[in-house]
Amino acid sequence: MKRVALLVLSISVAFATTAAAAPDGRPARPKSIGLWSYHDPDPVYTSNGYEPWTPSDVVGFLGRYPDAYVDVAWGDGKAPGLLSTVRLRELVNEAQSIAKQRGVNVDRRLCLSNRPDVFTRLGDTLSSCHPSRGGGGCDWEGNMDGRFGESETVVKTSGAATDGDPTHLVDTSASWVPELYRHRLVVLRPGAGEERRRITANDASILSVDAPWSTPPSPGDRYEIRGSFDPAWIVRVPRSVHQSTMSRFWDGARQTACRNGPCPPPPEPLDPFASANKRGWENWVNRTFIQSLATPTSVPALYGYAYDGTKSVDYYDAGHVWTDPYFRATAVIMDLANPAYRAWQQRYLMYKIQEFGFEPSEPLCLLVTYKPGSHTFHDEATFGPSNIRCAASGTNNWWGPTHVCSDGAAQSGPMHPTQYRRGEFENAISAYFRELFSALSAARRGDTRVITGEAPPYGVQNWSVFAEDVRRHPMMREEQGGWIEPKLAELRASEPAEEPPSTGPPSEPPAEPTPSEPPAQTPPETPPAEAPPAETPPTETGGGGGMAPGGDGPGESPGTGWEPAPVDHGTSGSPVPRSSPRSPSGGSPPAAPAPSSERAERRGYMTSGGSGGASGTVEAPGAE
């Protein structure tokens, strides 16, 4: 089906109706009606406290609020090819069809997002990404397979074949995670005369490939399995900085943050890299792989949330008093200053666009989100302390690392102080957007609306981290303005009343009502309890671009966690090499997870965006 959707990338590609920038140079600030994945009409997926929105409802809201858009889903920071994408793509397709019938313009108003400053490594058996469920794969690249020209030069593993046949390679010394290498490139006998094939399946020791080898593997033949994502792009933090962060913002914070004096000793170590720490990582994150990247001198820079081990509801409320604070990791910080990583991000985005069904000729909307206040350097000696409520002095950035804020409100962001020096993040994000514009143009996607995620929190005169040429680019002229979160009662009230059945001759159907002006909205003082944890101070909702905690899903009990459904590691459908010393194991399909687990898995990954869920127009402050 032809799709008239947008990709919201925190940058909006200019289009004819784009509002002009304000006199101070700040762009227009369109609002989102909400995040559709939170309002999924399937009760299994609807977030607690959110009304379910059918495609008809979404079209109705967009008709009533002609200047607003809808966030289809914050699916960034995760491997492409998730089953959740299929579900959301179907909803968007239906909405487009309904909009066409009703004459509601939804071009560049059904928006997807991307967040380039953080990324996560999903668990190897997570059912939404696992190929046995139809997912594209759970490693960094997911279903990326070279079709968009990404450089596949990163060696994931190598070895020597012990056997093979025209469509298989066997290495009995291997112990691969089943289906981990589907879509990856295998190079047989690297060097002169090498053969390259695409992997279609793997078990613990057998690879199946997409085309017969010219010369099948023989015992001793070398091979390499290659991919495109390089873990070297992850920002590293010196061990000394990591240890200092743990001491100052976690061990030290427990002395003053809790009710009636110091917090009690934590039930397990607070350091996410400590082997005894079991709750310091979301269950959908591949903590084993990320922990393996730590060395005696450095650790990966983590992104995550402050949680409370004994509070199951409202743990992020301004009035909350901590009882057992700890950090839970959701992602790693990526080095946007690295040109190779930025180039990979552009290819990654092409997969995300394609899997939502957007053709090059269709209008597109992208919301590019990022957290400038978490990365930009703050010269405290020159400008004085940051004016952000939870900023931490002496950390060299406006926001500071994630820690226990003085009033108990949860904070999200990097665990460690910024590693960017003066101007480095600003230069990196500007370079990212220049390359984004070029990539979109090269892919014949010039009719794209790009909405910027948020501005840094240090004054209107410095509203943007972007260079002037990026800020004035015709593809980038809007800034995310918060959420409306209308109620279904409002929509139903505007619909024509249902007439009683008539016994007379059939009459012409009533004309579609003309959208009325949206009613005045009053911003709430605080988000409701079921809203995702607020990234901005609780009295200011919106701003977007953050990573809401996953695992438990918004509104569900944090800290309880869940385990993914068991996955059959057999290789059904993969023929066994004729002389394989070991046959792959069989097995039945995995059982479907319980609804609560399914909701947590489909919706509760690392998601970007600020808090939502509030009724009424919510103005984004444009700050962290």
The answer to the question of residue 281 being in a domain is yes
Tokens for 231?
């873990």
Mean pLDDT, the chain, as a whole number? 75
The answer to the question of residue 385 being in a domain is yes
pLDDT digits (tens, 9 = 90+) for 237-251: 999 999 999 999 999
Q: Give the model's confidence band at 75: pLDDT under 50 very low, under 70 low, under 90 confident, else very high.
A: low
Query: Which residues of 410-522 form beta strands (DSSP E)?
Result: 412-414, 448-452, 476-479, 482-483
Q: Is the pTM of this model over 0.85?
A: no
Average pLDDT of the segment spanning 595-621: 34
**Beta strands 185-188 and 195-202, pairing class:** antiparallel
Inter-CA distances, 349 with 89, 164, 354, 481, 607, Å: 16, 36, 9, 23, 16
Backbone angles phi, psi at 598, to 5 degrees: -65, -40
The answer to the question of residue 472 being in a domain is no
Is 121:289 a contact under the CB 8 Å cutoff? yes
Average pLDDT of the segment spanning 215-241: 97
Average pLDDT of the segment spanning 461-474: 75
Residue 23 pLDDT > 80, yes or no? no
| Helix (H), strand (E), coil (C) string for 211-264 | CCCCCCCCCCCEEEEEECCCHHHECEEEHHHHHHHHHHHHHCHHHCCECCCCCC
Domain that holds residue 297: 258-332+379-414
Average pLDDT of the segment spanning 32-46: 86
The answer to the question of residue 398 being in a domain is yes
Q: Give the C-alpha separation, 114 to 349, whole Å.
A: 7
Backbone angles phi, psi at 430, to 5 degrees: -65, -40
Residue 21 pLDDT > 60, yes or no? no
Q: Give the model's confidence band at 320: pLDDT under 50 very low, under 70 low, under 90 confident, else very high.
A: low
Q: Give the C-alpha separation, 329 to 549, whole Å.
A: 9
Find the range with the poorest average confidence among 274-288, 446-460, 487-501, 540-554.
Answer: 540-554
Is 229:141 a contact under the CB 8 Å cutoff? yes
Average pLDDT of the segment spanning 559-574: 26
Residue 385 pLDDT > 60, yes or no? yes
Q: Give the model's confidence band at 26: pLDDT under 50 very low, under 70 low, under 90 confident, else very high.
A: low
pLDDT digits (tens, 9 = 90+) for 479-528: 888 889 999 999 998 876 655 544 444 444 333 333 333 333 333 332 22
Residue 342 pLDDT > 80, yes or no? yes
Residue 607 pLDDT > 60, yes or no? no
Place of tokens 């089953």: 83
Residue 398 pLDDT > 80, yes or no? yes
Place of tokens 């900023």: 391
- The percentage of the chain sitting over the pLDDT mark of 70, rounded to a whole number, equals 71
The answer to the question of residue 407 being in a domain is yes
Supply the pLDDT for residue 470: 87
Supply the pLDDT for residue 515: 35
Residue 353 pLDDT > 60, yes or no? yes
Residue 108 pLDDT > 90, yes or no? yes
The answer to the question of residue 300 being in a domain is yes
Residues contacting 249, CB < 8 A, separation 6+: 392, 401, 402, 403, 404
583 versus 385: the higher-pLDDT residue is: 385
Q: State how many domains the chain has.
A: 1
Place of tokens 């996607």: 445
The answer to the question of residue 589 being in a domain is no
The answer to the question of residue 347 being in a domain is no
Q: Give the C-alpha separation, 519 to 385, whole Å.
A: 40
Amino acid at 256: T
Which of 258-262, 470-474, 550-554 holds the top average pLDDT?
A: 470-474
Residue 431 pLDDT > 70, yes or no? yes
Is 451:480 a contact under the CB 8 Å cutoff? yes
pLDDT digits (tens, 9 = 90+) for 141-172: 999 999 999 999 999 999 999 999 999 999 99
Q: Give the model's confidence band at 400: pLDDT under 50 very low, under 70 low, under 90 confident, else very high.
A: confident
